[in-house]
Structure formats: structure tokens, C-alpha cells
Structure 1
Amino acid sequence: MNIDLKRSVTNKQSTIVVTGSKSETNRLLLLKALYPNLKLQNISNSDDSDMMHNALSNSSTLKDIHHAGTAMRFLTAYFSIQEGQEIVLTGSNRMQERPIKILVEALKQLDVVISYENNEGYPPIKIQGKRIAKNEVVLKADVSSQYISALLLIAPKLENGLKLILEGKITSVPYINMTLALLNEIGVKTSFENNIISVMPKNEVEDIELIVESDWSSASYFYSIVALSEIGTQISLTSYKKNSLQGDSSLVEIYADFGVETTFVDNSIVITKIKKTNKQFVEFDLQSSPDIAQTIVVTCFGLGLGCCLKGLHTLKIKETDRLEALKVELTKLGAIINVTNDSLILETSLSNFIIKSNTSIVTYQDHRMAMAFAPLALRVPIVIEEAEVVSKSFPDFWNDLKNIGFQFEETL
């Protein structure tokens, strides 16, 4: 299904309900599998979280998680400690091209039994669950935080807990802190000093009800919409916390540079376009929040601003190589853009600025490509190919866009 977006104007005031954070949900689903008496509210309705839930709750020995990268990492760790179980964990063709060796090698330091079914270092993998007595792992600090979080989430169920030693400069610290904070919420004792993380063992937890905060990554697309709209445009989003565990809450500071003000009201955020930006070029280090890079660069392009985004090395192993995908699709729209292995530079285009109309954006089976480019309909008509891919993280996205004033048709 393609979405043919017409040139649109947003409503002056709108309210959107955003479901729970995919990142928090997937962590809590794994913890609930380890501690069944936990109760969860406002969990994500994303495909990824559905895949995570299904893999944890069904008795099949073949677990196919399709495109769900977080689920692949977390479930690899989870099934490693399910004593007496043997399962095969697999996914889509793209998932079978995404490396898992770093996590597998880390788990093997604990004497976990994992083997590769096809290609060395990549899914599908066979996991033989066992009781784990060892409690120390050494890991490079600049790896994806999902590898680190996968180890931390199973740590309280290891006989002797876990001492994780990270070598080098740590990336994506907010996601590690999120994992540790959720462990603390259920009563697990942890420490994070210098480059050593320790998690104490805990066999049982008390009955606790946890409410998942709404997803800040999903909020990013509405920040982009407000930034590209007229002064006075306002969108309210629920449910968000001022002291969020999510690294993508840095949107509040980042979008202030684009004239967008964020106000916290009860359990909501109200985002308002209060002024035009006076900048021509912006620079951000997104090492702690790489998932909002696509949204930010498209916002800059729509405003005619240049930008330099750094700390993006993990984007090359996502659903697609997001840096190359951004370069290809933005170039089609008329942008001048260069990418490296970990950065992106978009040239300023304020003078004689024209965005090419009715351009078809290829989404590469990547939900964030579809959603990041959609706000450009506030500038020109644009086509989003394979638009149904948004269900991976935000199934209600297109309905929510319609509710705030976007006009579009669905075509095959």
C-alpha cells in the first residue's frame, strides 16, 4: 500500500493518544516473563512488541520474530537461561543479515550454549537453555545498547547475578539507564560505576503494577509537523513524564532550536510552534538518541536548514542502512547531503529552495523512513511507498495524521 499525501495544512489544535514506548514495553515484557506476577499497563501496540509477546507466550520451538530487532537481542538472552528448553530463533531476510555475534560471544562467556543454523554470526540461531552460575562478562562499550540491556535484563535470574565490564567509551547511556531503572522499579539492586555494571540476583519480586510511558520516538513525528507548521499550531500528546527514562525525550531541547516549545501538563505534553527559527545550520550529537535522526534531518530539509548529525554509527545495522537510505531519498527531493559511517551533513538550502513535488519515497521496510518523511506533505505532495510498514512501531500513525488535518489517498 502506498500513501499519496496531498499538500496539507494542520489543524490549529489537536490531541493525539500515543501508546506505550516500544523500548520500555519490550524490556517489561521480558521481565514479566521472568517474574509473572508483574502487571503492565499502556503497553505498546506495535508489531515489535506483539512479536516479543508472542515469542514469550507460545510453546513453539521455532520463534520467528520477523523484523523485530529488539526482540531478537532480548530473546537471545532470555532463552539462554530457560533451563531444559531448546529453541531456534529466526526472523525476516533482513533480520538474518543483522549481526548477533557480539551478543552470542558475550553470552558464551557465561557458558551459554548457542549455535548458528546458517551463517556464522547471524540468525537463525539455536539456543539450549541452561542454569547459569558464572557471573562476569567483558564487552566493548561502544556496541548497541540492546546487547547490553539484553544481558542486564536476565541478570537477576542468574544464580550469582552479573558483573558487566564495559571496555572503552559507552554509547547510548540513556537506554542502559532505562533498563537499570526498570530493574530498580521491581526491586532489583544494581550499580553503575565507571564502566562496571553490577546486577544482584533476585528470585522473586513483589506484586507491582507498572505503567509504560508513551513512546518519545513516536512523538518525534509530531514535533516535526509542528516545526513545519504555522506559528500557533499546537498538538497535545499523551502520556509523557517530565523525567523520562527515554533518551529520545531530548526532542524537547532539540526542537526548541526549530521554534517549538514543549509544556508538560498533567500526563501530557503540549508542543507549540511559537516562532520561526533564526538558525541556518544546526548540529546535534545523537549518540544517545539515534532513532530520531531521520525525523530531525527531514525537519531541517523542510525548513531549508542545514545540519550536521553525529553519533549515528548504529544506524547502518537497523531495518536498513538508514544513513544511505536518507541520502538516496533526500537527494531525490533535491537535497545536497553527505553521509559517513557515523554522521550526516545536509547543506543549507534557504535561497531558491524548492522541494521536488510528488516524489515517491522508498521505505526499505523501515517504519521510521515512512513516518519521518510524511511531514513534508506540509510543503509539497509526496508519496510514501509500502506505508503499512509503520505498524512495526506505530500502527495508528496514518489515522492520527488524518485527524490532525493531513489529506491523503491509499493506492496499491
Structure 2
Amino acid sequence: MILRLHSPFIIHNSQLRLPGSKSETNRLLLLQALYPEISLQNISDADDVLAMRNALQSVSDTIDIGHAGTAMRFLTAYFAIQENRTVTLMGSPRMHERPIGILVDALRQLGARIDYLGAEGFPPLRITGTKLTGSKVTLRADVSSQFLSALLLIAPKLENGLELQLDGEITSRPYLEMTLSLLRKIGVETSFNSQTITVKRTVSVAHCALSVESDWSSASYYYSIVALSEIGTEITLSTFKENSFQGDRALVEIYKDFGVETVFNAGKITIRKAHNSPLSIVHYPLNNVPDLAQTIAVTCLGLGIGCELSGLHTLKIKETDRLLALKNEFEKLGATVVISEDCLTMRPAAIHSNIAIETYHDHRMALAFAPLALKVPIVIQSAEVVSKSYPKFWNDLRRIGFSIAEM
């Protein structure tokens, strides 16, 4: 599906209910599979979540999770402890290029039986479930937080719990805090002291009903829309918590630099364009929130502000190499971009109109570039890719005033 977007303004005081957090939902689905006493509300309807749910409910000995990276990491750990069951876990061609060796090595240290069916260190995997008696493992702290969370989620079911020692500077700490918070909510005892995380064995939990908070990553695109709009523009979004454990809540502070204010009220946030930004360039270390990089960079381009973003080494192993994808598309739009293994530097220029944005099978490329239609008409290739995390995105944009036509 190819869409052409244009929007000279958005409807003032728009209101939307955003989907549940994909990150929270997938963590809770795995915990629910381990502890059926848990019931869930407001779960995400994203493709990644559907892949996770289908895999957890499947009795097949072959599980194909497509492009769902979170599911690949979490399910590798989950099936490793499913005794007397052998599963082949596979995905899309791109998924088979995304490294998983760090997680597999850690699980093997705990006693897991996992074999590579293709290239060493990459899916597909043959996982023979067994009782894991190991209880201590050390991992580099700068690896994907999903590797660490995968271990933490199965930790309460391990024979002796888990002591996870982190070596070096921690990347994406908020996602680890989210995982530990959800474990505590269901009654699991955890601690996070300096570089050591401990999770106690928990045989069963009390019956509990948990509601998934809406997705701050999805909210980021509306922060970008408000930042690119006229002063006084407001959008109200639900359902969000002021004390959220989602790392992307950092939007609230970051977007103050772009003139956007946030008000929390009764489970909703109202985001308002209060003033125009006086800045000519911004510098952000995004180690803890790398998924915001595309949104922030597009906002800067739309406002004519330069940006220097660092802490982005994990973006090269996402659905695509996001740093290279951003460089390619920004240069088509007229900007100057320099990337390294960890950083992106962008210098804006007059934005070219009617440029076709390639999404590279990456939902965040489509989602992040859409707000730019407030400045110039743009075309989004393979626009259906948003279903990976936010299936109703294009409908919601129409509701707030965007003109969107299928080509």
C-alpha cells in the first residue's frame, strides 16, 4: 500500500485513545503463560503481539514469528524451560540476520539445550525444553535490553531463581525497570542493586487483573505532530500514567525543547504547542530510548533544527539498519546526514516535496515520517507496515485532520 499524505493543519483539541504498549503486552503475555492466574486488559493489537500470542498458544513443533523481534527473544527463553517439548523457532529472512547468540549463550550457561539450524549465532533455532538448574549469569550491559528481559521473565520459574550480573554501562535501563516492575506486580521478589539483578523463584502467584498502559512509543508521533503544528494546537491521548515505567516517557522532557508542553489529568495526557523552539541544534544521548531516534530526527528536520543523536548502536540490528535508512531518506528530502556505529548527525535544509519514503519493512520509518506531511506533501511506501505496532495509525491520523490518499 502506497499513501500520499498532506496536512496544512490538524483539528484543534483532537482526542485519541492509543493502543496498549507492545512492550508491556508481550512481557505480560509471557508471564501469563507461566502463571495462568494473571488476566489482562487493554492489550496491544499489534502484529508483534499477535505473533507472540499465537506462538504461546501453539502446539506445533515449528513456530514462525515473522518479523517479531521481541517475540523471538522472549520465546527463545520461554521454550528453553518447557520441559519435554522440542520446538523449531524461526522467522522472516531479516529475522535470521538479527543476532541472538548473546541470549543463547546465557541460556546455555543456565543449562538450556539450544541448537542453531543455520548460521552460528542467528535464528532459526531448535530448542529442547529442559529444567534449568543454573542460577547465575554475566552479560554485557550494553546489549539489547530484550536479551536481558527475556532472562528476567523466565527467572521466577527457574529452579534456583536468577542472579544476573551486568558488565559495563547499561543500555535501555527503563526497559529492565519495566520488566522488574511487572514481575513485582504479580508478586515476584526482585532487586536491582548497582550492576546485579536478582529474581527469586516463585512457584505460583495470586489471581490478579492487570491493565496495559497505552504505548508511549505510539504517543511519540503525536508529540512530533504537535511540535510541527501552530502554537496553541492540542491533542489529548489516553491512557497514560505520570509515573510510567516505559522508557519513552522521556518524550515529556525532550519535547519541551520543541515547544511542547504535557499535562497529566485522570489517566490522560494533553500535549500542547506552547511556543516555537529557539534552538538551532539539539544534542541527545538516547542510550535508554533508542526507539525515539527516528521520531526526534524527523521532528528536527521539520522544524529546521539540526540534531546530534548518540547511543544508537542497537538500531543497526532492528527491522532494518535504522541509521542507514534514516540517512538514505533524509538525503532524498534534502538534508545532510552523517552516521557512525553509534551516532547520527543531521543538518536540515529546505525540504523537498512529494518525496517517496521507503520504509524498509520497518514500522517506525512509516510512523516517524508521517508527521512531516504537516510541512510538505510526502508519499509513504509499504504503509501497511505500521500494523507491526499500531494498526489503526492511518485512521487515527485522518481523525485529527490529515489528508491521506491511497495511490
Taking structure 1 as the reference length, the TM-score comes to 0.98
In structure 1, how many angstroms separate the alpha carbons of the residues matched to 2:202 and 2:8? 53
Residues 357 and 380, structure 2, Cα contact 8 Å, conserved in 1: yes
SS at match of 2:344: strand
SS at match of 2:8: coil
Alignment of 1:88-103 (within 5 A): 88-103=88-103
Q: CA offsets per residue over residues 31-63 of structure 1, 9 Å max, x none?
A: 000001101111011000110010001111111
SS at match of 1:153: helix
The residue number in structure 2 matching 1:317 is 317
The residue number in structure 2 matching 1:164 is 164
Q: Offset of 1:378 from its aligned partner?
A: 0.4
One-letter amino acid of the counterpart of residue 363, structure 1: T
One-letter amino acid of the counterpart of residue 390, structure 2: F
Q: Offset of 1:8 from its aligned partner?
A: 3.2
In structure 2, how many angstroms separate the alpha carbons of the residues matched to 1:273 and 1:393? 26
Q: Offset of 1:204 from its aligned partner?
A: 0.3
Q: CA offsets per residue over residues 247-269 of structure 1, 9 Å max, x none?
A: 00000000000000000010100
The residue number in structure 2 matching 1:400 is 396
In structure 1, how many angstroms separate the alpha carbons of the residues matched to 2:35 and 2:310? 39
In structure 2, how many angstroms separate the alpha carbons of the residues matched to 1:399 and 1:89? 34
Alignment of 1:7-406 (within 5 A): 7-347=7-347, 349=348, 353-406=349-402
One-letter amino acid of the counterpart of residue 253, structure 1: E
SS at match of 1:70: helix
One-letter amino acid of the counterpart of residue 368, structure 1: R
Q: Offset of 1:140 from its aligned partner?
A: 1.0
SS at match of 1:252: helix
In structure 1, how many angstroms separate the alpha carbons of the residues matched to 2:323 and 2:118? 28
One-letter amino acid of the counterpart of residue 90, structure 1: M
SS at match of 1:409: strand
Residues 16 and 236, structure 1, Cα contact 8 Å, conserved in 2: yes
Residues 5 and 381, structure 1, Cα contact 8 Å, conserved in 2: yes
In structure 1, how many angstroms separate the alpha carbons of the residues matched to 2:13 and 2:78? 44
Q: Offset of 1:21 from its aligned partner?
A: 0.3
In structure 1, how many angstroms separate the alpha carbons of the residues matched to 2:259 and 2:341? 30
In structure 1, how many angstroms separate the alpha carbons of the residues matched to 2:239 and 2:22? 14
One-letter amino acid of the counterpart of residue 214, structure 1: S
Q: CA offsets per residue over residues 327-380 of structure 1, 9 Å max, x none?
A: 000000000111111111112x4xxx5210100000000000001001111011
Superposed CA RMSD: 0.7
Gaps in structure 2 of 5+ consecutive residues: none
In structure 1, how many angstroms separate the alpha carbons of the residues matched to 2:255 and 2:31? 33
SS at match of 1:394: coil
In structure 2, how many angstroms separate the alpha carbons of the residues matched to 1:129 and 1:21? 29
One-letter amino acid of the counterpart of residue 383, structure 1: V
Residues 8 and 407, structure 1, Cα contact 8 Å, conserved in 2: no
TM superposition outliers: structure 1 runs of 4+ over 2 Å = none
One-letter amino acid of the counterpart of residue 327, structure 1: K
SS at match of 1:178: helix
Which has the larger displacement, 11-20 or 396-405?
11-20
SS at match of 1:316: helix
Residues 42 and 213, structure 1, Cα contact 8 Å, conserved in 2: yes
Q: Offset of 1:272 from its aligned partner?
A: 0.3
One-letter amino acid of the counterpart of residue 16, structure 1: L
In structure 2, how many angstroms separate the alpha carbons of the residues matched to 1:200 and 1:124? 31
Which has the larger displacement, 294-303 or 4-13?
4-13
Taking structure 2 as the reference length, the TM-score comes to 0.99
Identity over the aligned pairs, expressed in percent?
59
Q: CA offsets per residue over residues 284-326 of structure 1, 9 Å max, x none?
A: 1110000010000000000000011111010000000000000
Residues 302 and 376, structure 1, Cα contact 8 Å, conserved in 2: yes
Gaps in structure 1 of 5+ consecutive residues: none
SS at match of 2:110: coil
In structure 2, how many angstroms separate the alpha carbons of the residues matched to 1:250 and 1:77? 29
One-letter amino acid of the counterpart of residue 303, structure 1: L
In structure 2, how many angstroms separate the alpha carbons of the residues matched to 1:37 and 1:189? 17
SS at match of 1:109: helix
Residues 111 and 131, structure 2, Cα contact 8 Å, conserved in 1: no
Q: Offset of 1:6 from its aligned partner?
A: 2.4
In structure 2, how many angstroms separate the alpha carbons of the residues matched to 1:132 and 1:369? 39
One-letter amino acid of the counterpart of residue 375, structure 2: R
In structure 2, how many angstroms separate the alpha carbons of the residues matched to 1:181 and 1:162? 16
One-letter amino acid of the counterpart of residue 2, structure 1: I
Q: Offset of 1:168 from its aligned partner?
A: 1.3
Residues 310 and 342, structure 2, Cα contact 8 Å, conserved in 1: yes
In structure 1, how many angstroms separate the alpha carbons of the residues matched to 2:342 and 2:104? 24
In structure 1, how many angstroms separate the alpha carbons of the residues matched to 2:346 and 2:208? 47
Q: Offset of 1:7 from its aligned partner?
A: 4.1
SS at match of 1:218: helix
Q: Offset of 1:194 from its aligned partner?
A: 1.3
Q: CA offsets per residue over residues 227-251 of structure 1, 9 Å max, x none?
A: 0000111000000000001000000
